[in-house]
Amino acid sequence: MVGTTVSETLDQGGEILVAPPTEVAAGRSAAMDEDFDKLESVISVRGLDFFYGKEQALFGNHLEIKKNRVTAVIGPSGCGKSTHIRTYNRIYELYRDHKATGEVMFGGRNVLSSGTDLLDLRRRIGMIFQKPSPFPMTVFDNVAYGLRQHYKMNKAELADRVEDALKRSALWEEVKHKLGEPGIALSGGQQQRLCIARCIASEPDVVLMDEPCSAIDPVATAKIEELINALKANYTIVIVTHNMQQAARVSDYTAFFYEGYIVEVGPTTQIFSNPQQKQTEDYITGRFS
Amino acid sequence: MSAPATSHNGPGPAPLKALRPRSHGRRKAVDAAIRVFAWVAATAGIAVMFLIVWEVIQRGLSAIDWGFFTELPPVVGEDGGGLGNAILGTLVITFVAALIALPMGFFGGIWLAEFGRNGKIATGVRMVANVNMGIPSIVVGVFIFAALVRPLQHYSGFAGSIALAFIMLPVMARTTEDILNLVPNELRESGLAMGAPRWRVTLGVVIRAARSGLITGAVLATVRVAGETAPLLFTALSSPYWLQGLFGPEGFFGGPTANLTKTVYDFSGMPYERMQELAWGGALVIIVAVLGLNVLMRLIFQRGKEW
């Protein structure tokens, strides 16, 4: 079993709970070896509560998002995973009765405070959604959208930046002759990579991904997972997923949510091999979902 | 899972009785009856439209020639002439009405869909718009008569435009709102998540995603009022002359303005064959224009959802 990754273990339906932690840790993540507390946090969530009208959806969430690491957010449907990360860029404010209280510290400020410049916040914390959502414009204009919004640049610079973002999103080869075509004309997986290109073009610090692969096929999913691995050198990534194999494959740290509470946070290998909480164990072994 | 309901092993609740299938006869009979009824109803509805179009074509086609579009109506009792002034008047009145109502309705609809939403003010505005859409058009005509024509002491094409704009405004606003509501929220979220301000997401992304529907809605709202008669009875009235500029007794703001629908209404009641022929011709022009634009819009935007 040496060298077997967590994901393979899970895929084989192996008895991961009895596998010694050291063996599982031989996977790709080095997170077990580093000291979580000493890593720089990009986002620190403290005492975050969230309300849909009168109904409370998050309860006192605490979470540290570490720089240049991939943090996976897992948990059963309706447990508040998406709700949680949607507070980071305050996108929930599109809806009148959604309210968040507590602290989401980012760049030395609480983003939930009223003085936050939302446009700048959202430039620095980009987001990828469940359903690919190319804008109704050309491939080029999609990628240029944030660049034009946030930066001054001439046409040549813009073209260079668009090309660079598409290359870093592993999409350039597929679309370099289709830059003038509507973004919607691409396949589902390409559309999602287009959205990633659009997001990273404006150089955010953090990329939030809200179940980015749940609406696309397995081959496209594999490409996006590869992309996530490549991107974490430059970006801090938070990915919500209901696919535990995916969490195991792509993330360094995992937070397990249950009914609005964060039950357990830790190195992904540990969460999947040696969870400290009963609820986490039940979830990852499929006793409930 | 597929084991018969009667098999029962071990502990647990008592076995269920076996399922007894319903007979298919009744279901098939009901199905056939509903199918026939739907077919008859659809055919009857479509047949009426074809009968009207056919009748109007038969009687009106003979009136259509070059002179029909370029000449004034003949003196009563004489031959020749056309409805050139009425066609021009209808175009101008409708155009000005669209100029007033479409932008207002468009932005009103945007406000309802994107900003007002389910707030108290928006709910009130929406209700008023719905009520306004239900007001009989003759009432709108009388209202504009009291509000504009009487104080100014004269009928005018402009008063007609205002009356038509009054009818178009809520239609355009509600159509815009309905179409924008079809744009999925993920698209708005994606736009906002890029750090774009709300107005930019609305204009650059949401409106763009809905553009074909919005254009169709605007054209159909315009075409709909182009065929209205009642609002013009007390406002634009009618005129045997050409529209003469903007002001003065024969100008757009200054006096009664010829228009197709009122002219058709007037001429169809006259005991002169040529006048009746012209009325049929006018009716044909209206129907062809309205149907034609409807069909054209559907053809252009057949691809439907573009975003």
- pLDDT recorded at residue B297: 84
- pLDDT recorded at residue A59: 96
Q: Which residues of B touch A129 (CB under 8 A)?
A: 186, 189-190, 193
- Rounded to the nearest 10 degrees, the angle between the axes of helix B24-60 and helix B273-300 is 130
CB distance B210 to B114 below 8 Å: no
| Chain B residue at shortest CA distance from A195 | B190
Q: What is the pLDDT of residues B140-171, one digit of tens each?
A: 999 999 999 999 888 999 999 999 999 999 99
Q: Which residues contact A289 (CB under 8 A, 6 or more apart)?
A: A76, A77, A283
- pLDDT recorded at residue A21: 38
- pLDDT recorded at residue A14: 38
Count CB neighbours of A289 within 10 A: 11
Residue B224 near chain A (CB below 8 Å): no
Pick the CATH number of B64-300 from 1.10.3720.10, 3.90.1200.10, 2.40.480.10, 3.40.50.1110: 1.10.3720.10
Q: What is the ipTM of this complex?
A: 0.84
Contact B208 A91 (CB under 8 A): no
- pLDDT recorded at residue A5: 42
User: pTM for this one?
Assistant: 0.81
pLDDT per residue rounded down to tens, chain B (307 residues): 444 545 556 667 778 988 988 888 888 999 999 999 999 999 999 999 999 999 999 999 998 999 899 988 988 878 888 899 999 999 999 999 999 999 999 999 999 999 988 889 999 999 999 999 999 999 999 999 999 999 988 899 999 999 999 999 999 999 999 999 999 999 999 999 999 999 999 999 999 999 988 998 999 899 889 989 999 999 998 888 888 778 877 778 878 898 999 999 999 999 999 999 999 999 999 999 998 888 888 888 765 444 4
Residue type, A189: G
Residue carrying the six token digits 């990579």: A193
Helix (H, G, I), strand (E, B) or coil at A99: strand
- pLDDT recorded at residue B76: 83
DSSP H helices in chain B = 24-60, 66-70, 84-110, 120-134, 137-144, 150-152, 157-182, 185-193, 198-201, 207-209, 211-226, 230-233, 260-268, 273-300
Mode of pairing for the β-strands spanning A70-74 and A98-106: unpaired
Q: Which residues of A touch B205 (CB under 8 A)?
A: 135-136
**CA A115 from centroid of its chain's CA atoms:** 26
Residue B302 near chain A (CB below 8 Å): no
Q: Which residues contact A94 (CB under 8 A, 6 or more apart)?
A: B185, B188, B189, B192
Contact B195 A149 (CB under 8 A): yes
Q: Which residues of B touch A135 (CB under 8 A)?
A: 187, 190-191, 204-205, 208-209
Question: How many Cβ pairs closer than 8 A exist between chain A and B?
Answer: 73
**CA B117 from centroid of its chain's CA atoms:** 24
**CA B70 from centroid of its chain's CA atoms:** 28
Helix (H, G, I), strand (E, B) or coil at A119: helix
Mode of pairing for the β-strands spanning A206-210 and A125-128: parallel
Nearest-by-Cβ selection for A136 from B195, B197, B209: B209
CA pair distance B190, B32, nearest whole angstrom? 48
| CATH placement of domain A6-284 | 3.40.50.300
- pLDDT recorded at residue A22: 38
Q: Which residues of B touch A142 (CB under 8 A)?
A: none
- Rounded to the nearest 10 degrees, the angle between the axes of helix B260-268 and helix B273-300 is 140
Domain residues of chain B, as ranges? 64-300
Q: Which residues of B touch A126 (CB under 8 A)?
A: 193-194
- Which region holds residue B169: left if phi is over 0, alpha if psi is between -120 and 50, else beta? alpha
Low-confidence stretches of chain A (pLDDT beneath 50):
1-29, 289
Q: What is the pLDDT of residues B67-113, one digit of tens each?
A: 899 988 988 878 888 899 999 999 999 999 999 999 999 999 999 99
Residue B121 near chain A (CB below 8 Å): no
- pLDDT recorded at residue B305: 45
Contact A145 B188 (CB under 8 A): no
